[in-house]
Structure 1
Amino acid sequence: MGRWEGPRDLLLSTGPDWDRRIFRLQVLAEAGARLRFADTWAKAEPRSPHALALLGNVQALRAMIAGRDAGWALMKDAWATCRATLDVWPQDVAPLVVLLALLRTHAPDRNTLGSVWEEIKQRDPWNREAHHEIVTYLFPGCHGAQGEAMWWAEEQASMAPRGLPIAVLPLVVLAESHRSRQERDWKAYGLTIHPWVECPQIDHALERWWRYRAPLPHACFADDANYLAHALSFANRHHEALEIFDAIGPYATHAPWSYCGQARELFLRHRAWAYSPQRRRHH
């Protein structure tokens, strides 16, 4: 038995839970990008959709680490492996999400992006990770026009069924816009009001996702909950942020807190304010 026994059992047990499958593949790929066990496993079991899916993730991560020019050959290998995975398991969404990432980092092409997106929608139309890949592609600093990412995020958030974290997408775009504007011209931007003041996207995330969320948290729950807690905190709505901080527990994420200062310090400060009885009495 090879070193891939653990990953194989994990992915087998995940089954067609695409949300957790994608998350677990990404975690395994980060662990295996500089090792060879994914390559060895795929050679030993060339018809295993799990071995191929992991290898595709690993190859894509290696391509991203190498950079656009140096990683071009690696990108083509990853693309071919993802397509081979779909030949073995056509319903799998995970390889298509990798293709979106490769299009963003190495081969931006709107027609191909649209084609891959259609393939995803046929399989899992509200896949969280796929939506985040598209919105990242549309950031002005990536391949989108000014305002395009927010337009797309709000459109998707308005159409998504209640209880899905797609409703958080506009908050992700707001945070990224804040970060990029600070980087571009922090002196001038520092004099303006930050985007979480009178922010309707916060209420949409509360009403469309948080109030109706599933009892079992999705794989990237901590990421989405941190975006919501961050937005509520910077909108000075700490009394409403309390239950989100409760659900987050110790699982603070670097983004978006780091976009506004020292991530750990900001998270702890705003969490303390949310738990402050004096602040709660004032609301």
Structure 2
Amino acid sequence: MTLIDHPAGRDAALYPVFEDLKMGRYRRVKELLAETGHNWQLRTFRSQVIALYAAHTRAIDYWHQEEPTNPDALMMWARVLTQRMFHLQRPANNPAVINAANHARRACRAAIQACQQCPVAWVCLLALAQFDSDPRYKQDAAEHWAPSQTVDALPQGPWPLFWAVRQRDPENREAYQRMLQFFYACGGGAHAFAQWTAMRAGECSILHMPPLYAYAEDYRRRRNSHQTSDFRYWNDHRVRHYVEQARDSWFTYLDADTRSSPALSIDLNLLAYALTVTGVEGAGPVFEAIGPYVTAMPWQSIAPRSNWAEDFHQARAYALDQQPASR
């Protein structure tokens, strides 16, 4: 099986967009976002993937200049400016970085004004919060260092922005990823947030996945500093508990159409990886749902090896071989 390693995954409608972007054109972006409408999960996913490519072109700049009041143009402008922040190779307290972040935040606010119900610009504000993650400057951005306003002892963070996303799209998967990234940047709080999320997740909820992301990032950092091994880390009973919970309380409930959603590719790949490295049963159906659409997270980013594709194929073959024979 030939693997397809592309952020768009199985979303065939996205691929022609990238050809337009290479030539500095935005027409197909505009058409695709209009077709996506108020499907917030798909809109969040597509706008994020488009921004990964558009940030290296001028296509969205031209669209924003030519249609400065178009809600979709404003949303993508916010997306692109936010994405470009992650390309800056300078300290977060550098004046150029601060100015760029403020410019992106103004674009987000304009997008919010243009479409109040859309969660994407709020997600962008959450992403930008990690550039203000130094607790020495809490007083400069109250919305980034607010109390959680829950009964649980959760760390301060960009909770007003997070609640704004949840108000519009309660299970917006990227919003939870951005909160985790903020706490990673702060140096603590990611596990508390992820576990709090999973404890309140219902059946068939993707909110059972954040603990796996938190453990994956924790493992990556520990491995890079030679503080742990694969076996010792992934066989911890707490890790296995959350892997089993994600399998049984989220994946098991998904129907075939939901499993094929392009927005869930990374989640499925991470779940398959976690089931494999922990030795927990049930990876076979997850690999079947993934098909050939492998994602860099986790197969390349968590445990980077030159033969990551071979690792994927071996894990998949073993998982499918372990499945009970159909009668």
Same fold? TM cut 0.5: yes
1:204 aligns with one of 237, 245, 248: 245
Q: Contact 1:126/1:160 (CA < 8 Å) preserved in 2?
A: no
Relative distance call for 1:173 and 1:26 in structure 2 (3 A) is same
- The aligned amino acid for 2:190 is A
Task: Report the counterpart of residue 253 of structure 1 in structure 2.
Answer: 295
Conserved in 2, the CA contact under 8 Å of 1:274 and 1:280?
Answer: no
Q: Give CA deviations for 1:52-90 in whole Å, capped at 9, x if unaligned.
A: 011111111122212433432221111101100111111
Cα deviation for residue 265 of structure 1 reads 2.5
Indicate yes or no: 2:199 matched with 1:158. yes
Query: Does the CA contact (< 8 Å) of 1:230 and 1:256 recur in 2?
Result: yes
Query: Which structure carries more relative contact order (alpha carbon 8 Å, separation 6+)?
Result: 2
Query: Partner letter of residue 317 of structure 2?
Result: A
1:94 partnered with 2:120:
yes
Structure 2: how far apart are the matches of 1:97 and 1:275? Answer: 37
User: For residues 158-196 of structure 1, what are the alpha-carbon distances to aligned partners after superposition, in whole Å with 9 as ceiling and x for unaligned?
Assistant: 212322222111111111111111112x1x523961224
**Are 2:44 and 1:44 aligned?**
no
**Structure 1: which 5+ runs fail to align?**
none
How many angstroms apart in 2 are the aligned matches of 1:192 and 1:244? 22
Name the counterpart of 1:29: 51
Distance verdict in 2 for CA 1:235–1:123, change over 3 Å: same
Question: Does structure 1 retain, via aligned residues, the 8 Å contact 2:40–2:118?
Answer: yes
Contact kept? 2:60, 2:76, Cα under 8 Å: yes
Equivalent position of 1:233 in the other structure: 276
Question: 1:52 touches 1:81 (CA, 8 Å); kept in 2?
Answer: yes
Q: Tell me if 1:216 matches 2:258.
A: yes
C-alpha contact 2:61 2:77 (8 A) present in aligned 1: yes
**TM-score where L is the length of structure 1:** 0.88
Tell me if 1:275 matches 2:310.
no
Aligned residues: 272
Query: Residues 207 and 76 of structure 1: is their aligned pair in 2 closer, same or farther, counting only changes over 3 Å?
Result: same
Q: Give how far 1:144 is off.
A: 4.0
Distance, in Å, in 2 between the alignment partners of 1:191 and 1:102 is 32
In the alignment, the residues of structure 1 paired with residue 304 and residue 236 of structure 2 have an alpha-carbon distance, to the nearest angstrom, of 18
Which 10-residue stretch deviates more, 149-158 or 242-251? 149-158
Task: Answer yes or no: is 1:118 the counterpart of 2:140.
Answer: no
Partner residue of 1:190?
229
Q: Residue by residue, what CA displacement relative to the aligned partner does 1:88-107 show, whole Å, maximum 9, x if unpaired?
A: 11111000101111111356
How far residue 275 of structure 1 moved from its aligned partner, in angstroms, is 2.5
After superposition, the CA RMSD in angstroms is: 2.2
The 2-side partners of 1:235 and 1:102 are apart by 33
Structure 2 length-normalised TM = 0.77
**Counterparts of 1:105 and 1:247, CA distance in 2:** 36
In structure 1, distance between residues paired with 2:272 and 2:211: 14
